[in-house]
Structure 1
């Protein structure tokens, strides 16, 4: 077995993972450069810098893979899509919240990339990306905890008994007569609420600085949809006297100078 040299072409699934990573990390690079230029808190700036180093390393690695396979390099996002000198649009608090949520998305994306990769070099690369992103999540979460920014999910009392689902009506959840929300549902709802809150602020900021009326309206539409979803999930928690995560709309400044292109 050790003497077999079986070189295989990169698969469509592996190519898709590399291509999407290049698009995502080229976008992240633009946002991180802008954030770093305005971050006042040294601890937050250090985590942002770590994230930027990861993104730039990933971009170079993807270029190597695609060049070796004779594929073109994606256009992605470039320095033309960011004006780092533009006035700050978000506070340091939002910057670290944004980074933590994007790390959550990254962990999901990279585990998915590993699961569809066959070639060993691709598997090893995305496994390494997974570890790096877990470290990024860890660093960002530590900052959020230390500064008292993060909202912890609700806790449940431990005086409950084991029970079993006896009727299919349990699957109806909150339709008709509502039953108490369970821990699995609380976990999913709370994580979705945290992601949604990050999006609300991002869309609020982008709608404030977008040059195109079409883009501005699109961002505003997205913000209203997110607020609707957030309110629905909040009502589910509040019915069982559980708290919702804190909001961050106040972390948008009053700047109207576009730091990013409408393309971004």
Structure 2
């Protein structure tokens, strides 16, 4: 009975999405492993690569059994292993950490949409694997002193309840202090923007397509602007704000990645950013914070659309599986 159960639309979506993302991540991990000098970072990169290749193999096997087309994704054709390092060693570790953090939330969401036994087991294992990667990468970052810890606050001495509608104000009147839920979203959205600044700086140095280079430069400026807006809120709260560890980009102008792969990575980061900004919007009760998130989300969506158009114009945007067009079938 279990073998006769076809993949549901959500199971197809989950498998297809992870295949596309991991085929791209594999290229970056291969470059990092080929150029990184730090012997403590190499084992984590290798573990991440092993996990990624295992995911690709298992998804391919599931699709083959279902006679389902395997996505094209990305391959060794999209990397140049003779190219020098584009990023410093610390960024290679940050890459694993950032993608593991995103993966923890992403795999959790995807797993909650799965029912077929073999696919559920696969995603459950993915979740355990990315959790292990997250712990290892965080521990190594802490030991190297490159983990930017969120701000601390004094512990409250009692439990309080909200008794005043001014709790929601933000633009006018006296604003209450930011709460820890809002602080969490601000801090990590700033951190993710700094990650984007580093990525886009490196990509801008090596991309060959002039139009895509201009898009990357625009994205870097945009990420810096977002970080500054959110950082200013922390400074107003006397929380100092968060700052990047360092630029982490070498002076190389030789592309280790194809233009297609770099553009895909940026569009993928855009999609992730929209989700996180939306979560920040949904958990912020101060009106000024909600307004900031809403405006930034709209700007990201426009920037993301521009990136999608660049991919479409170059015939690089792989289409997810779609439901049948019933109108077209009827007319035919």
TM-score (ref. length: structure 2): 0.75
Structure 1 partner of 2:134: 137
8 Å CA contact retained: 2:100, 2:134? yes
- Determine whether 1:30 maps to 2:27: yes
Structure 1 partner of 2:181: 184
TM-score (ref. length: structure 1): 0.94
CA distance in 2, matches of 1:157, 1:113: 36
CA distance in 2, matches of 1:163, 1:248: 36
8 Å CA contact retained: 2:86, 2:202? yes
- Determine whether 1:175 maps to 2:171: yes
What does residue range 78-117 of structure 1 map to in structure 2 within 5 Å? 78-117=75-114
CA distance in 1, matches of 2:99, 2:172: 36
The Cα of 1:91 is off from its aligned counterpart by 0.3
CA distance in 1, matches of 2:84, 2:172: 50
Superposition RMSD in Å: 1.5
8 Å CA contact retained: 1:197, 1:248? no
CA distance in 2, matches of 1:257, 1:49: 24
The SS at the match of 1:156 is coil
- Determine whether 1:75 maps to 2:72: yes
Structure 2 partner of 1:246: 243
Question: Structure 1: any 5+ residue segments left out of the alignment?
Answer: none
Structure 2 partner of 1:66: 63
The Cα of 1:163 is off from its aligned counterpart by 2.5
Which 4+ runs in 1 deviate beyond 4 A? none
Structure 1 partner of 2:18: 21
Number of residues of Structure 1 aligned to a counterpart in Structure 2? 260
CA distance in 2, matches of 1:144, 1:208: 26
Change (3 A) 1:239 1:8: same
Change (3 A) 1:8 1:258: same
Structure 1 range deviating more: 174-183 or 157-166: 157-166
**Residue among 17, 40, 58 paired with 1:43:** 40
CA distance in 1, matches of 2:49, 2:3: 36
CA distance in 1, matches of 2:248, 2:3: 54
Which has the higher relative contact order, 1 or 2, with Cα contacts under 8 A spaced 6 or more apart? 1
CA distance in 2, matches of 1:6, 1:123: 14
Structure 2 partner of 1:197: 194
Q: Deviations over 1:213-242 (max 9, x none)?
A: 111111111111111111111111111211
CA distance in 2, matches of 1:32, 1:183: 34
The SS at the match of 2:54 is helix
The Cα of 1:145 is off from its aligned counterpart by 0.3
Question: Structure 2: any 5+ residue segments left out of the alignment?
Answer: 262-332
Change (3 A) 1:215 1:145: same
